[in-house]
Structures are given as structure tokens and as C-alpha cells.
Structure 1
Amino acid sequence: MEQHAVEQHGKAEPAGLDVVVTTMASDSHTWNLVFLQLLLEELGHRVTNLGACVPDELLVAECRRIEPDLIVLSSVNGHGFHDGLRVIAALRARPELARTPTVIGGKLGIDGSGTPARQRTLLTAGFDGVFEEGGSVLEFQSFVGSLSAGSRALPAGSGALPARSGVLL
């Protein structure tokens, strides 16, 4: 039987992003994570769902191991703001994760959604997007669509979405 060599031209990049979806240590909710995983997979991305009540150290270790293109933190219990500040500091302290696009969303406080000061604080702390409950799924999809697989950083000049943008994460 005659064998033919297959010659590859160019560099094929895998389609879609590698995304980590998780809650934080204090949040035991899971349906939000299932929704996000299904949404992202339907958009063609590969998702690692770390589940609920993820300790900060485990989240950082898994992100270091996986090297995702995007980290999505979701909160439903109303403690996302405080937990998120702690988690983003831990993620940004690791050089290999310092530029990985990271977003937070859901119910981030117990005093209602969409407070501009809270969103500014989260963005200043290092999040690339803040998506509070009651926002549009399309805005989250647009943010995700602006990222490219393998780059592990936001495209130049893209910046974060406006703080008023949001989706229940």
C-alpha cells in the first residue's frame, strides 16, 4: 500500500476560547454556572466549570494549570463584590495570570445592582468587565467575542465594557 505524506500549510488555531467558569469560596450556587457553561459552549468555546464554593487557592492553581483565555467569576449570593476584590488580587498577583481577561458578574451586592462606584472599584481592582444582574446577555457575548483564542490578553485598545453593561453571571 502506497503512503502519501500530508503537508500542512499555515498554522491552524483551534476555534473558540478556553474559559474557566466558577463561583467564589462563599457562593454555593450552581445553576448560574450551568447557564454560563452552556452559553459559552454554544458560542464555540471550551469551558472548564470549577463549580461552587471554590477556595481562592484552588481557583488560582487551576487557572495557572489551564492557562485560560478568559476567567468568568459568577456570584448569586450578594457577596461577589467583596469576594471578587480578594480573588482578583490573588489572580493578578500571579505573573502568568496578570493579563488574562477576567470578568465578574451576577448579584454582586445586597444593596441592589448597578451602583457605579462598586463597578468602578471592581474595574480599578483589575477586572476587565463587570456584568451585574439585570443586564443583557448580548453585552457579555460581545465582550467574549472581542477576545481571541491563545492571546490571553485583551485586544489592544478594547478596554473593558462600560460599567453600566451587565448580565446575570
Structure 2
Amino acid sequence: MTHRLPDPNPSPQKGRPRALVSGVASDSHTWNLVFLQLVCEEEGLDVVNLGPCVPDELLVTECVDQRPDLVVISTVNGHGYREGLRVVPKLRARPELADVPIVIGGRLGVTGRREDGLAGELTAAGCDRVFDRGPEDIEEFRTLAAAVAWTADDASARASVQFG
């Protein structure tokens, strides 16, 4: 007798708002991605979690295929700034993703402390919000996820969600 294990990342329910959570290509950490998935689910979003070490091309392809209402990029290894500057413009270059909120957060630089200029550059590259202050960002992220879940049924309302 063979037993099938449940799919650890089942397809989101059709019609429900969803977030796509991803690590950056060089980051093998998973705990941050699981934590963000749980926060998004608690706030009413289905989640597609691509996991760690996601190549840029895979992230772009999955975002186009999945059509998420929110893209969440997280990093712990300190390379999020450089990788965000590389991958976010690729996401923004796709017309299907032009209006999809993209956020990035975690340890963005290798110094281990917040660097003011990084957030501005990531915003200029196409991020709607940069979470780089540490644990105090979680409530703001939770509020954002709830707002996306609440407005995702109406694409015109989604455009009015504030990210700053």
C-alpha cells in the first residue's frame, strides 16, 4: 500500500487573494519564509511559497503564472539589497505585474545594521515597500497583508492600498 503525503504547497483556492513569498537566489534560509507565509495566511491570503534560493527567472515566471495580489521577497543573508536591485526591475518589466505590490524585507545589507540609502534605491527599482527595521516591521507588514487581502477582490480598489 502506498501513502501519498499531502502537498506541502497546494494550489491556492481559485478566486481567493494570494501572496507569493520567495527568498532570493543566494539565500538558503527558510524560517523567514515560513513565518511570512503564516502571517499572510492569518490575514486572509492564500500563499504560494517558492522557498529559498529562487533564481530570478523562476520568480518572474511564477509571478506571471500565479498572478499574485502581493509579492513578498525576504532575505536573511545580507544580500537582499543587491539581489532586490537585480530581480525587482525584472518583475516590473512584465506588464502583468505592473500593478502588483512588491515588498522586500529582512537583512538587506551585510553590515548587520539598517542603512538608510538602501530602502530608497529599492523603492526606485520598483519595490512598493521595504521592510528593513527588524522585528518592529512585522505589524506594518501584517497590516499591509490584511489590506491586500481585503481589497484583492476589486482590482481598482487594490490600487488605493497605501504602502508607506
**Which TM class, normalised by the smaller chain length?**
0.7 to 0.9
**Kept after mapping to 2: 8 A contact 1:103/1:127:** yes
Where does residue 122 of structure 2 map in the other structure? 122
The alpha carbon displacement at 1:149 in A equals 1.2
Aligned to 1:63: 63
Name the counterpart of 1:145.
146
TM-score by length of 1: 0.80
RMSD: 1.9
The answer to whether the 8 Å contact 1:27/1:52 transfers is: yes
CA 1:37–1:67: 2 relative to 1, 3 Å: same
Other-structure match for 2:51: 51
Alignment correspondent of 2:104:
104
Residue 155 of structure 1 is aligned with which of 142, 153, 159?
Answer: 159
Q: In the alignment, what sits opposite 2:29?
A: 29
TM (norm. structure 2) is: 0.82
Distance (whole Å) between structure 2 residues aligned to residue 110 and residue 25 of structure 1: 16
Q: CA deviation at 1:46?
A: 0.1
Q: If you compute each CA radius of gyration, which structure gives the higher value, 1 or 2?
A: 1
- Alpha-carbon offset, residue 108 of structure 1: 0.4
Unaligned runs of 5+ in 2: 1-13
Unaligned ranges ≥5, structure 1:
1-12, 162-169
Number of the residue aligned with 2:80: 80
Q: Secondary structure at the match of 2:25?
A: coil
Structure ranking higher in helix proportion: 2
Question: Where in structure 1 do 4 or more consecutive aligned residues deviate above 6 Å?
Answer: none
Q: Contact conserved, 2:99 with 2:159, CA < 8 A, in 1?
A: no
Contact 2:128 2:163 in 1 (8 A): yes
Q: What does the per-residue CA deviation read over 1:97-137, in whole Å, with 9 as the maximum and x for residues that have no partner?
A: 12210000000001233322111111111100111124231
Matched, 1:136 2:132: no
Q: Indicate if the aligned counterparts of 1:20 and 1:47 stay in contact, CA closer than 8 A.
A: yes
Single out whichever of 67-76 and 111-120 deviates more from structure 2.
111-120
Deviation for aligned residue 1:38: 1.2
2:45 is the counterpart of 1:42: no
